[in-house]
Structure 1
């Protein structure tokens, strides 16, 4: 079950980056409006389904407050950063920065829940971060693109921090045995409403863009990327912990960079292949089962 959830998250979220790029290219409009429509559609679909199958659970005022915080972190603030970053770097490289969620989650789990990181985390993270550096190696040495690259990296890293903080709130919900689908639904709703207020306060319109590319990207991002993807991910957080669940983000580049090669003209180089090899090695270190030696104590 955990493996199916893990692979589902990798496959779905590895493809959402190109959909974000497609939606932005089709609209050329407000980032806040794009994020709003993605999560208002996702939240309403989830709430209607849960209500229809009688799975919508009651939450108290404190739970709703934490859903609001989760929504702002995971379904608002972080995607506001990611959508803006898409103007500076391609979707494949953006997904690579998101891989730092594994490090953020390990540190935040330690800070907020006193969960000691696994002994595998340090070597696995070293390989993962080293792989990220290798993937970016040529871009970092391109002086003409250095300023825009740094803007893209900074916004993506900031968005990843927001995502990680939302993970901690989801972990709080599940420790209190709150239903993950119910809390996700309300968090998406609150995140969408927060983005609507931010967009309107900036004097921008929430009016959608009526063309097939924008609508298709919206449907994919709302249903697959949000309803299914986040449902699977936060279920995984509850089952194996935030640190290990976030390690799935280190496999996104395999999917995202492949799509970026086809649709955005990403140029592969030796360092990129080395980087992906290191990222895969990090996954192996993190999750491969090692034999455990046991002492037999005589009675």
Structure 2
């Protein structure tokens, strides 16, 4: 799910389709007003930025973990990025959420970014970053399944249910060889797998909650509130976090700053802009490209393994996600007949 951000529910659109593709709201100021000028080249640059930057965040997390404990890293990252986005929003006098909207957006941020990214970060202590990225690719399966189970959700079609099962099998295929070996990390591969499923659950639940909220504040503002809430929630955990202390070295600090600016600010802003200018289905293909970028960079920098089992698991997951995205909504009367 990229960085795990989710926008508010648009009126008059199908919920599940937009949950999967993260579309933008119709209410409020137009997203394009954040950017000066209207040039066709910008939308393609933004599109490629989402492809690249969100795919690099998995490697950046692994690099940052060499200098920062997990909760300290999550807290510092989102406090910085959320503050910068909020200051930018206030500078242009964007509407800020208040009252119940503020509380609910903050709670969703704790779920999506606080719990979700914390689980991902801890998992990367135990398994390669590329493998973590591939397991996270199953998040659309969780999103559609949870939406169907919650009140007011859309009923699953059989093909979509089959896609969820196929994607689940693919994720098990991915982690099984690592778990069987269990020699380097003391058998923590299955623990990492379960943590990443918890991350997918948290991202999906928070995303569904946010989508069902009436659109009020600008998406950038909601992103700022979510990030600040996640950073504040992780801060107490960072204070009591055991293990190694924080090392303010150039490598780790650079990785944190990269996550702040290119993952949480540039990547998110590029995503919003691309969603405003390009077809939703096209932008949603980042789901498939991000893990490929993560796999390549993990191999390039850390020589993370990628063999036949991983390739097979990746293809099975992609097939499951494709089935869910294609057949996610309940059939119409004509389709039933």
Whether the 8 Å contact between 2:69 and 2:241 is mirrored in structure 1 is no
CA pair 70-82 structure 1, distance change in 2 beyond 3 A: same
What is residue 111 of structure 2 aligned with on the other side? 73
Task: Tell me by how many angstroms 1:284 deviates.
Answer: 5.2
Q: TM-score, normalising length from structure 1?
A: 0.79
Whether the 8 Å contact between 1:76 and 1:191 is mirrored in structure 2 is yes
What is residue 52 of structure 2 aligned with on the other side? 11
Q: TM-score, normalising length from structure 2?
A: 0.71
Whether the 8 Å contact between 1:127 and 1:278 is mirrored in structure 2 is yes
Task: Tell me by how many angstroms 1:275 deviates.
Answer: 2.8
What is residue 206 of structure 2 aligned with on the other side? 166
CA distance in 1 between partners of 2:314 and 2:156 (Å): 24
What are the superposed Cα offsets for residues 266-289 of structure 1, whole Å, 9 maximum, x if unpaired? 223222222333344456556679
**1:221 aligned residue (256, 259, 263):** 259
Whether 1:31 and 2:60 are equivalent positions in the alignment is: no
Task: Tell me by how many angstroms 1:70 deviates.
Answer: 1.3
CA pair 9-23 structure 1, distance change in 2 beyond 3 A: same
What are the superposed Cα offsets for residues 127-164 of structure 1, whole Å, 9 maximum, x if unpaired? 43343333334223324357211121122221221111
CA distance in 2 between partners of 1:245 and 1:62 (Å): 31
Task: Tell me by how many angstroms 1:244 deviates.
Answer: 11
Whether 1:276 and 2:308 are equivalent positions in the alignment is: no
CA distance in 1 between partners of 2:103 and 2:126 (Å): 34
- Equivalent residues in 2 for 1:179-190 (5 A)? 179-190=218-229
Task: Tell me by how many angstroms 1:39 deviates.
Answer: 0.4
Task: Tell me by how many angstroms 1:124 deviates.
Answer: 4.0
Q: Secondary structure at the match of 2:127?
A: coil
Q: Please, what is the CA RMSD of the aligned residues?
A: 3.7
**2:63 aligned residue (14, 17, 22):** 22
CA pair 253-177 structure 1, distance change in 2 beyond 3 A: same
CA distance in 2 between partners of 1:161 and 1:59 (Å): 25
Whether the 8 Å contact between 2:161 and 2:324 is mirrored in structure 1 is no
Task: Tell me by how many angstroms 1:181 deviates.
Answer: 1.3
CA pair 251-136 structure 1, distance change in 2 beyond 3 A: farther
Whether the 8 Å contact between 1:102 and 1:247 is mirrored in structure 2 is no
CA distance in 2 between partners of 1:119 and 1:239 (Å): 33
CA pair 79-233 structure 1, distance change in 2 beyond 3 A: same
CA distance in 2 between partners of 1:171 and 1:18 (Å): 29
CA distance in 2 between partners of 1:143 and 1:87 (Å): 14
Whether the 8 Å contact between 1:82 and 1:156 is mirrored in structure 2 is yes
Q: Which structure shows the bigger proportion of residues in helix conformation?
A: 1
Unaligned stretches of 5+ residues in structure 1 = 290-294
What is residue 31 of structure 2 aligned with on the other side? none
CA pair 262-270 structure 1, distance change in 2 beyond 3 A: same
CA distance in 1 between partners of 2:154 and 2:326 (Å): 21
Whether the 8 Å contact between 1:104 and 1:164 is mirrored in structure 2 is yes
